[in-house]
Chain A
């Protein structure tokens, strides 16, 4: 149920421009991180740790897998009405 805001003040992220700036900074920092990876010498325990951009790819894939499994496997199996136990 959406309630009407009790004030008409505009806040930081009410302006779409600010959200765009934030996202722009975020995407920019991702680029910087990918770029820096090429210059840092690594001391890997496992061979895959030494692969270029390993952590970036792993972080991204892990979260996509996490969300897909949670949404399409776990939720259909486990979701019940809020009064299920009552």
Chain B
């Protein structure tokens, strides 16, 4: 019985109605969608709503609890910000795709059963791909196809897992699973693809930097965070996640240091930040889960802020490679300041949002005496400051003077960035409101003297390392180049596969043609005609000799008969006649 409106419905309806509005009304209408959605969200009481009976199963479209509420809140907030940021876009497809994408993410978060969960999960992929293709470049088109293939594979893996799981348990309710058996492992891996686990991750660093300026803001928020939600729902406390998260936090920072495309640097740091969340979910204590969820909340904001500032630079200059940029603080001072707020937040400076959430995961790891994990995470914390905290603002807004003097970003972009920057500082300075909506009660106190000092030292001395390496000329110069990643296996490997199939199967075809079609079949054909001809000759020659034919006339007759049979109308006619006779015979007998 439908008693409440599921949060996804408002966005999906909104997406359908958007094309009917024009000009300013369109902007107002789109901005109202997340506002109305949020007003609807906060009045939904806890529990399962919008249950629909379908065959023998019960579908739940709105499961409201503390976990889904946090993700619902941040998804509404970031939708509002991203829509505000993209008001200048005239392309209706992007608006519709963005709204459907946000709606699908909400659908995933509020789905209480596997069926609706899977449908919304697939809608995430389908709608997001239009944000990539809308860039309308060949690179974006190709990256979009690769994105689609990887997610289709992940989706099938998830579907296989769901089918096995539902078969075994007989229930389609989606809740805690834990790793036990093939079905849950497949679901786990399916989530992992969307979560950009190591080896599954290149779809993210491949496609996000190819998407449109505004599309990337939506992309950076939803797919990975919906996967984090799914993991927090189904696999909290799974030990494998601790190590997966630690690797995710660690390896992308090396790539980020040598990457030239600044939005790709941010894509790598996105994986690095999701690593902290995955690790927290793996640790699974109340503190760790709170930390992971709070960090997801904050990451959506500061990562969007960084992508927005780089998007504004790209919008004004048309360039995004570090080699082409530099010195933009002169004419884009506000964008520069907002970018630095985002950089300070992702680096977890005290009084910026990252500080109050990342430290929860770190403390949970330390409290569980996981020293190796803790050291990796601390290394990742220093590293993220190094590439996202310093590299992004430095190479775009300072560094050498590129000579570019672009205008400041448009007003709506500045408003979107300003709002996000305000939230980053507000949450960092007053974490109480965020802590109050986390899944478990929070007793954690982020602001203690040793913690503030330790974190500040870590960051300042990372900055010192950057400064000294740069002044000494050791810091890797930005080079126009790309760096290989795991996607090599399906980009080059795909070609190798194609080559193998082409040479292998087509070669096999060719040889089969030579041996069987042209060789053996021809030989059998000739043989069967020859045998028939020789048989006929044997009979006929005796007959002709008996009738008195001799010498030349006999040999002419022999030649004619042999040629007639080899030419071949007779055998076909004869076999057709025999076949008809056989059928007639069978018919008569029956």
Are A and B a genuine interacting pair, yes or no?
Answer: yes
A residues near B, CB below 8 A?
2-7, 9, 11-13, 23, 26, 29-30, 33-34, 36-37, 40-43, 45-46, 49, 53-60, 62-64, 66-71, 74-75, 77-82, 84-85
Q: Is B152 an interface residue (CB 8 A)?
A: no
Q: Report yes or no: B481 in contact with A79, Cβ–Cβ below 8 A.
A: yes
Q: A56-B461, A63-B383 are in contact. List 13 more A-B contacts (CB 8 A).
A: A7-B405, A26-B467, A40-B449, A42-B454, A43-B448, A45-B363, A45-B367, A45-B369, A63-B461, A66-B379, A70-B258, A80-B483, A85-B491
Which residues does chain A contribute within 8 Å of B450, judged by CB atoms? 40-43
Give the total number of A-B pairs whose CB atoms are below 8 A apart. Answer: 156
Nearest CB of chain B from residue A6's CB, rounded to whole Å = 5
Q: Is B469 an interface residue (CB 8 A)?
A: yes
Q: Report yes or no: B460 in contact with A2, Cβ–Cβ below 8 A.
A: no
Q: Which of B355-386 contact A (CB under 8 A)?
A: 363, 366-367, 369, 371, 374, 378-379, 382-383, 386
Q: Report yes or no: B475 in contact with A67, Cβ–Cβ below 8 A.
A: yes
Q: Is B459 an interface residue (CB 8 A)?
A: yes
Given A79-B483, A84-B482, does the pair A66, B329 have CB atoms closer than 8 Å? no
Which residues does chain B contribute within 8 Å of A43, judged by CB atoms? 448, 450
Given A30-B460, A74-B254, A75-B476, does the pair A45, B467 have CB atoms closer than 8 Å? no
Interface SS of chain B: helix
Would you mind naming 19 contact pairs between A and B with Cβ atoms under 8 Å apart? A2-B402, A4-B403, A11-B330, A37-B453, A45-B363, A56-B457, A56-B460, A56-B461, A58-B378, A58-B458, A62-B378, A62-B379, A66-B386, A67-B465, A70-B258, A74-B258, A78-B258, A79-B481, A82-B480
Q: Report yes or no: B454 in contact with A55, Cβ–Cβ below 8 A.
A: yes
Which residues does chain A contribute within 8 Å of B463, judged by CB atoms? 26
Which residues does chain B contribute within 8 Å of A68, judged by CB atoms? 474
Which residues does chain B contribute within 8 Å of A70, judged by CB atoms? 254-255, 257-258, 476
Q: Report yes or no: A30 in contact with B461, Cβ–Cβ below 8 A.
A: yes
Q: Which of B430-473 contact A (CB under 8 A)?
A: 448-450, 453-467, 469
Q: Is B530 an interface residue (CB 8 A)?
A: no
Which residues does chain B contribute within 8 Å of A2, judged by CB atoms? 402-403
Which residues does chain A contribute within 8 Å of B405, judged by CB atoms? 5-7
Report Cα–Cα, A81/B258, bound state, in Å. 14
Q: Report yes or no: A3 in contact with B462, Cβ–Cβ below 8 A.
A: no
Report Cα–Cα, A63/B466, bound state, in Å. 7
Report Cα–Cα, A84/B382, bound state, in Å. 32
Q: Which 10 A-B pairs have the closest CB atoms?
A: A3-B403, A63-B465, A45-B366, A59-B461, A59-B458, A70-B257, A55-B457, A60-B461, A62-B382, A71-B476
Q: Is B502 an interface residue (CB 8 A)?
A: no
Residue of B nearest to A19 (CB): B398
Q: Is B538 an interface residue (CB 8 A)?
A: no
Nearest CB of chain B from residue A38's CB, rounded to whole Å = 11
Counting chain B CB atoms within 10 Å of each CB, the highest count among A13, A43, A60 belongs to: A60
Report Cα–Cα, A64/B382, bound state, in Å. 10
Residue of A nearest to B487 (CB): A85
Nearest CB of chain A from residue B531's CB, rounded to whole Å = 59
